[in-house]
Amino acid sequence: MRAVLTVFVKEFRENLRERRTLLSALILGPLLGPLLFAGGLTLRLERGVGEGDHPLPLAVAHGERAPNLLAFLREHGVTVTPVDYDEAAARAAVRSGREQQVLAVDADFAGRLAVGGPAPLELYADASDLTGSSDSARVRGLIAQYSALLGRLRLAVRGIDPLLAAPIAVQDIDVSTPATRSVLILGTLSYLVLLTMLMGGMYLAIDATAGERERGSLEPLLTVPVPRQQLIYGKILATCAYMALSLTLTVTAFAIVLRFTGLERFGMSVNFSPYVALAVILLTLPLVPLGAALMTLVAAYTRSYREAQTWLALLLLVPTVPLAFAGLVGLRPHLALMAVPSLSQHFLITSLLRAEVLPASWVALSVGVTLAVAALLIAAAGGLYRREALLG
């Protein structure tokens, strides 16, 4: 066992001197990820919240034909700019981005209204313009409101109860709590945590086989009187250490950064207390030896450092496959799914953030299966170092 420790210490120290690798594994990944995540989140939330009250600019051609409609729109926060566009000019103005949307009032608008027919309006908007689409939806909604109002008035004038025209009334009841609402957005968090964790150990995993071979240091290493699996165990241990470090840094960064995004302002609460952060780290930790052994195994079958990098970059996507699949088919966590490594960690992290109580059986199964798979992979990696083909 002393050899395992010797290899571990040497690998840990050597990697510590690899400044650029260290920078990406322990600084950029764990810190930049959470920062970008929180930045994007805040931006999205602020826009979502802000949309309802910011003034809505609307260019209107021939507004004089519909003075009541314009008064209604102005009442509801629309800034009306009178313009003098014909159809072609309106199209061109929207397409060129000069106007976000143009409302054109037809010549017989008032006439059709007076006889109780549908009065024509044209709304020019660019559906491919994502930032403008919510604006045009608001305009359309306001016009629909105005239209419904007129309809009710018409019915009332004719002595008919307007409620007759509304046979069904749907009431939306939102049962989400502040915590569950934020989880919808924080769903990507567990993915980022797993990804950064794996990246933290990638360099060392490659180095254990492909790197040693390329440098020509593998053969001397294999001539020392130490059982070969002990050499690879030491290397996997060092990989684990860096992955655990990366995991801890990432989760800590998330906990701190999310504290400052102020999700509460938007009716969401992030349950990311130091206790939850610790629980997230502990529940993800069994995935560390699994990832380290898997990356070491894959790297051992490659012929060069470059090839190993290519394969491991692909391997980084593997833990995301169950996550993406679960998202697509709308899987909900239950006991059997806790037997799938990475998916179970995803569910457990999400549940923790929702402030739900985790069933002990879920935790036990997730930890147990993940560690069992890790043990199998480590044993397989140990066997690899006994293979001659490793020398390339």
Residues of this chain that interact with other proteins (CB under 8 A) are: 2-3, 6-7, 10, 13-15, 17-18, 212, 215-227, 388, 391
Is 18 or 264 the residue whose CB approaches other proteins more closely? 18
Is 50 or 225 the residue whose CB approaches other proteins more closely? 225
Least distance (Å) between residue 296 CB and other proteins: 18
Is 172 or 388 the residue whose CB approaches other proteins more closely? 388
Is 3 or 369 the residue whose CB approaches other proteins more closely? 3
Least distance (Å) between residue 206 CB and other proteins: 14
Least distance (Å) between residue 4 CB and other proteins: 11
Least distance (Å) between residue 1 CB and other proteins: 12
- Nearest Cα neighbor of 125 from 135, 115, 117 is 135
Specify whether the CB–CB gap between 68 and 239 falls below 8 A.
no
The CB-based long-range contact list for 40-43 (8 Å cut-off, 24+ gap) reads: 41/185, 41/261, 41/263, 42/261, 42/262
Element (H, E) at 78: strand 78-83
Is 83 or 308 the residue whose CB approaches other proteins more closely? 308
Least distance (Å) between residue 32 CB and other proteins: 25
Is 13 or 54 the residue whose CB approaches other proteins more closely? 13
Bridge partners of 192, per DSSP, are: none
Is 49 or 221 the residue whose CB approaches other proteins more closely? 221
Least distance (Å) between residue 13 CB and other proteins: 8
Q: Which tokens in the block code for residue 67?
A: 């003075």
360 Cβ contact list (under 8 Å, min separation 6): none
d(CA 242, CA 204): 8
**Chain centroid, CA 233 distance in Å:** 34
Specify whether the CB–CB gap between 237 and 8 falls below 8 A.
yes
Residue with tokens 């239209």: 147
Q: How many residues belong to the chain?
A: 392
Q: What is the DSSP string of 136-155?
A: HHHHHHHHHHHHHHHHHHHH
d(CA 21, CA 287): 22
Least distance (Å) between residue 212 CB and other proteins: 8
